Amino acid sequence: MKPVRTAALSILAATTLGLSSHASAGTTLDAVMKKGYVQCGVSDGLPGFSFTDAQGNYKGIDVDVCRAVAAAVFGDASKVRFTPLTAKERFTALQSGEVDVLSRNTTWTSSRDSGMGLHFAGVTYYDGQGFLVNKKLGVKSAKELDGAAVCIQAGTTTELNLADYFRSSGMKYTPITYDKSDETIVALEAGRCDVLTSDQSQLYAQRIKLANPEDYVVLPEVISKEPLGPLVRQGDDEWFNIVRWTLFALLNAEEAGISSANVEKEAASSTNPDVRRLLGADGDYGKDLKVSKDWVVNMVKQVGNYGEMFERNVGMGSELKIARGQNALWNAGGLQYAPPVR
Amino acid sequence: MSTTHHFKPSLPPPAMSVGAIGWLRANLFSSPFNTLLTLASIWLLWLTLPPVLNWALFDATWSGSSRSDCSAGGACWVFIQSRFSQFMYGFYPAELRWRVDLTVILAIIGAAPLFFRAMPKKWVYGVGYLLVYPWLAFWLLYGGPGLDVVETSQWGGLMLTLVIAVVGIAGAMPIGILLALGRRSEMPAIRVICVTFIEFWRGVPLITVLFMSSVMLPLFLPEQVSIDKLLRALIAVTLFEAAYIAEVVRGGLQAIPKGQYEAGRALGLGYWRLMGLVILPQALKLVIPGIVNTFIALFKDTSLVIIIGLFDLFNSIHQATVDPAWLGFSTEGYVFAAAVYWIFCFGMSRYSMHLERRLHTGHKR
Amino acid sequence: MHTPASSPPPRASMLNDPKVRGLVFQVLAIATVIAIGWYLFDNTQTNLAQRGITSGFDFLDRSAGFGILQALIPYTESDTYGRVFLVGLLNTLLVAVLGIVLATMIGFIVGIARLSPNWLISRLAAIYIEIFRNIPPLLQIFFWYFAVLRAMPPPRDSHAVGDAIFLNIRGLYLPSPSAADGFWAFVTALALAILACVVLARWAKARREATGQAFPLLAACIALLVVVPAAAIGLAGTPLHWSVPVLTGFNFRGGWVVIPELVALTVALSIYTAAFIAEIVRSGIQAVSHGQTEAARSLGLRPGPTLRLVILPQAMRVIIPPLTSQYLNLVKNSSLAAAIGYPDLVSVFAGTALNQTGQAIETIAITMSVYLAISLAISILMNIYNKRIALVER
């Protein structure tokens, strides 16, 4: 009897100790510094945004955002670990603290920004929901989709937009919902559904997974606004600022013409005051963010500016070949606009 | 006067009842109904077997490097071949895979003596092995002093499947035994706690348990505590299996005659010594086949970790089937996965039957 | 030697009194459980509050806003999450019921075939059992789903039976009935026929027990069930209108549709579970003493009736308990539906609804309690049945 009683007592003691410990919860930045890496939630496989190549390396624009955050915090873009998350698990994973930042083609909406205890740090990609159909069907517009069977990924805003769109257009549809985006594309190819709906960027990404991508076409209609961006937990402004200004710095770098190729030269010899402030040559704007003075230099040198990230992962330098469009800088006719560093 | 009776030499049995024809008549064509069944089965086999064999063996492509090599019309085993190492090790760094191999080899060498019936001090050796090997395996697989750390997110394939299954059963055994003892305890509070625990885990699907461990466990714990994703899955699997083990062990405890308890008490043994020295050794021996069956169920259940995004054997294969370079070979992938699971499960179920027969003899008179 | 009376036993310390020790131990155990429970609860509360996560069950009244592939009750996008829960629950129950019925049928057939004197049949049954019970159910579900999808034609090239039934990759389209003029007359006639059958069955049983004469009950009942409702249709007119599916645009409209997800899931779960049931049936039959078979045969019963009237009823006593746990497993395995997009409880409620609301704890808690309730219900029903058929010892 004795060893058991001791065990029970010690469990009790441990529990009581544990009870008193949660009052002293530190900030995310402290925790990140302590463990030495940023834990980043990404997609479980979406070419261009986050996916693993045959060697198991993570790639994509969402992945690069995380690398940039790591470069800002540690000066080393490799100090990041990735957690692949399904659409279902992503929010709880962030809420519960399993990941420090969620960068997983997630749409910014009011309910996610408020009731779920999350904060969107900005927009990495302005997207909109579209439709992918087989050319054989002869469909030219989404307005002709009455009665169609629609493949869709579970637990996304697309699911809600789809219902709204068909209802407001007075059309009927059959939703076929899968857990993973890979299954939606397999089902489309098998003919289980007539049309696949998702954010347009994802449609392009998914299309290259088809055996004959040329047989499928993305319809012109965009039925929703889908601003995609990284999220952090509410109530930690310090960490929120770091992620948000990482995005802004990437945009500002592109706007100022600073790229991974010339960032070191610019940091040493630029005379443009905007550039000098951004790169930490004048003043220390990193200090208030609690990052190093040369955080933007590290970031751009190791990951590139926003334009480089875009072209490399989803733009013309990738298999997806998506045009900049809305994602061009504001002074090039797009929506990407960052407040100045000063 | 006596007459001697001479038996006539026996006639040979009718030609129709011995040999191949006799066997056929007795086993396949004993009645019109049986004949009908036999013919129907043969017809069924004729319909299914040749196409399956043609696809899997005769028309299949066995070597090559890309999907363009697969033009024979049958299965494309090249797909399996080209991804084989990923199916086995996941993303475990190629230059460190010897560590996985070594872990498996050590497990086999270490456990081998336990399977010899004549081994002296088997019990002592077994406990020692169980105490030492897990640390060694963890050190080899994860790394630590002297070895590079390999994050659990890089673990995958068959290796991960085995890790989950083995850790699950090893962790579930002690908890399950305690629960079974608790369920048969004379103290009502303990009994209620154990029954509730067991019935709760047995009543819910593993998929919800895994989901809970994956997304909710961190909400239950203080903020600083973060548990590895794999570890959380292992905790979930262990608790889940413990409930099943508890029921198996309870069966064994119930089969022990009351006299054993009374004899133990009469010798002055306390509860734990009575259980540890008298009851459990007998009960556990009785339920070994049941435990093996639970392990088989657990082994199959490991495929569910696909739901929480761990790359076990099945998920690795599933991921490979949606790779654009190999699209359209999902059947080969699933058949391969099925074959691997089948070999393990079938092997274990045969072993369990063998044990059942061997252990049974002791109780038959 | 002294007698117990002469010297009172030494007073044992309180700590060595098994009753006291038991009490202390139980109090400690309860305290530990409460402490752990409270610890988890408190952490959760703190975490939820700290992170600004909404909690509570209000979301059940909010509008869901997404469509569901299959709903057994009327459902539109504007319905509430509470209704989503019901739709998912009914879909789970549908698969569970279909699966249990089908698995039992296949399982009994294969189990009996396993013991067939026909060598080929028993071998085939053994192969079936060994193949299907050793492959994870999730894999089988995937396999059947993609096998079903691949074998079916697109809607425009449907396999058709007449102009009423169509089979294609989107499902099996059947005409759906709705009540017409003769509906109530038909229902009444059917009810009368069933009642007559029950009465007939009682009478036949009583007569058989009294005189030993068998009555062709099955044939008589089928005749009753056909003739009486047919007469009602003749008198009162057609009972049902049939809405026939018609190909318009992409898909068929109207009628009932059996979706391939349901078919794949039911088939996979039944085939998997049937392999276990077959083994249970086999061991159950083998547990019945061979003397029973010999006795029945010597009474002149043929093999069929021997099995049906003598062996199986006795074997059921052995079969029922493990059969129950197989049914429970089937219900729990039906949660794998999420993998192939069948809208069961886990898929639509613990999946989509959870993600749209972000309230993981509430949705998972509800889902788990539903499975617990289903498990308990099946256990209780089976226990009642088990009691009824248990051997009455004298």
User: Is residue A7 pLDDT above 50, yes or no?
Assistant: no
A-C contacts (CB, under 8 Å): 150
Name which of C51, C351, C352 is nearest A95 (Cβ-Cβ).
C51
Question: What average pLDDT score do residues A66-75 get?
Answer: 95
Token pair of C169, please?
């990759």
Average pLDDT of span A141-157: 88
Our CA-based measurement puts residue B223 at a distance from the nearest CA of chain C, in whole angstroms, of 7
Residue of chain C minimizing CA distance to B344:
C134
How distant is the Cα of C193 from the closest Cα of chain B, in angstroms?
34
**Residue C258: partners with Cβ closer than 8 Å, 6 or more residues away:** C171, C172, C174
**Contact by Cβ (8 Å): A64, A103:** no
pLDDT for the residue A1: 40
Q: How many CA atoms lie within 13 A of B272 on its CB side?
A: 6
Residue C343 banded pLDDT, cuts 50, 70, 90: very high
Assign B61 to helix, strand or coil: strand
Task: Show which subunits contact C, needing at least 3 CB pairs below 8 angstroms.
Answer: A, B
Q: Report the gap between the CA of C52 and the closest CA in chain A (Å).
A: 4
Query: Contact C327/C378 with Cβ under 8 angstroms?
Result: yes
DSSP state string for C10-36: PPPPGGG-HHHHHHHHHHHHHHHHHHH
- How high does pLDDT run on average in chain A? 86
Distance (Å, whole) CA B120 – CA B346: 30
Q: pLDDT category, C338, cuts 50, 70, 90?
A: confident
- Which range of A87-101, A132-146, C174-188 scores highest in mean pLDDT? It is A132-146
Write the residue in B218, B222, B271 that is nearest to A1 by C-beta. B271
Residues 145-184 of A with CB under 8 A from B: 179, 182
Q: Which residue from C21, C69, C341 is facing A1, i.e. has the nearest CB?
A: C21
- Contact B222/A25, CB-based, under 8 Å? yes
pLDDT at C9: 58
Shortest distance between the Cα of C203 and any Cα of chain B, in A, equals: 33
pLDDT at B258: 87
Residues of chain A contacting C31 with CB distance shorter than 8 Å: 12
Interchain CB distance below 8 Å, B215 and A84: no
**Which of chain B's residues have a Cβ under 8 Å away from the Cβ of A3?**
272
pLDDT at position C229 is: 81
Query: Does residue C4 have a pLDDT over 70?
Result: no
CB contact under 8 A, A163 and C343: no
- The number of angstroms, rounded, from the C-alpha of C143 to the middle of its chain's C-alpha atoms is 22
DSSP state of C54: -
Chain A's closest residue to C341, CA to CA, is A178
A16, A116, A137 ranked by CB distance to C53: nearest: A116
- pLDDT > 70 fraction of chain A, expressed in percent and rounded: 92
Tokens of C92: 């789970």
Suggest the residue from A19, A39, A82, A98 to mutate for an interface test with chain B (most B CBs closer than 10 A). Answer: A98
What are the residues whose beta carbons fall under 8 Å from the beta carbon of B163, sequence distance 6 or more?
B141, B155, B230
Comparing B141 with C238, which gets the higher pLDDT?
Answer: B141
C287 touching chain A per CB within 8 A: no
Query: pLDDT for C45-90, tens place per residue?
Result: 888 887 777 778 888 888 888 888 888 888 988 899 999 999 999 9
Residue of chain A with shortest Cα separation from C46:
A22
Neighbours of chain B (3+ CB pairs under 8 A): A, C
Between chains, do A176 and C253 touch, taking CB under 8 Å as contact?
no
Q: Residue C7's pLDDT is what?
A: 56
Per-residue pLDDT for A35 more than 90?
Answer: no
Please give the helix or strand (H or E) that residue C251 lies within, else none.
Answer: strand C251-253
Which of B154, B211, B309 faces A44 most closely, judged by CB atoms?
A: B309
Q: What is the mean pLDDT of residues A185-213?
A: 87
Check if C364 contacts B (Cβ < 8 Å).
yes
Q: What is the DSSP letter of C164?
A: T
Tell me the percentage of chain C whose pLDDT exceeds 90: 30
Q: Please tell me the predicted confidence (pLDDT) of residue C13.
A: 66
**Residue A44 forms contact with B (CB below 8 Å):** yes
CA distance B29 to B35: 5
Pairs of residues, one from chain A and one from chain B, whose beta carbons lie less than 8 Å apart = 72
Residue B34, min C-alpha distance to chain A (Å): 42
Residues of C with CB below 8 A from A14's CB? Answer: none
Mean pLDDT by 10 residues, chain B (365 residues): 78 77 79 85 90 85 79 81 87 86 88 75 80 87 84 86 92 93 89 91 91 80 74 92 92 88 90 89 85 91 87 87 72 90 93 79 45
**Does A294 score more than 80 pLDDT?**
yes
Are residues C141 and C269 in contact, defined by beta-carbon separation less than 8 angstroms? yes
Q: Is C376 close to B203, i.e. CB distance below 8 A?
A: yes
Residues in chain A: 342
Of the candidates C46, C338, C347, the beta carbon closest to that of A22 is on C46
pLDDT of residue B108: 87
Q: Is the pLDDT of residue A6 over 80?
A: no
Measured between alpha carbons, how far is C359 from C270 in angstroms, rounded to an integer? 33
| Distance of residue C361 Cα from the nearest chain B Cα, in angstroms | 7
A233 - beta bridge partners? Answer: A118
Token pair for residue B70?
């697969």
Spell out the residues 6+ positions from residue C10 whose beta carbon is closer than 8 angstroms to its own: none
Closest Cβ opposite residue B215 in set C134, C140, C360: C360
Predicted confidence at residue B324, as pLDDT, reads: 65
C367 touches chain A (CB under 8 A): no
**Are A95 and C53 in contact (CB < 8 Å)?**
yes
For residue A137, give the chain C residue with the closest CA.
C250
CB contact under 8 A, B229 and A82: no
- Backbone torsion region of residue C176, taken as left when φ is above 0, otherwise alpha when ψ lies between -120 and 50, otherwise beta: beta
Q: Is A22 an 8 Å CB contact of chain B? A: yes
Tell if the CB–CB gap between A185 and B229 is shorter than 8 Å: no
Write out chain B residues lying below 8 Å of A98, CB-based.
218, 226, 229
What span, in angstroms and rounded, lies between the C-alpha atoms of A313 and A322?
Answer: 10
> What mean pLDDT is reported for chain C?
85
Contact list in A for residue C22 (CB cut-off 8 A) is none
A151 three-class SS? strand
Q: State ipTM.
A: 0.85
- Using alpha carbons, list the distances in angstroms from residue C168 to C158, C253, C259, C341: 5, 13, 10, 18
Across the interface, of B41, B190, B220, the residue whose CB is closest to C120 is B41
Gap from B77 CA to chain C (nearest CA, Å): 17
Interface contact A89-B309, CB threshold 8 A: yes
With CB atoms and an 8 Å threshold, state whether C52 touches A117: yes
3-state secondary structure of A119: strand
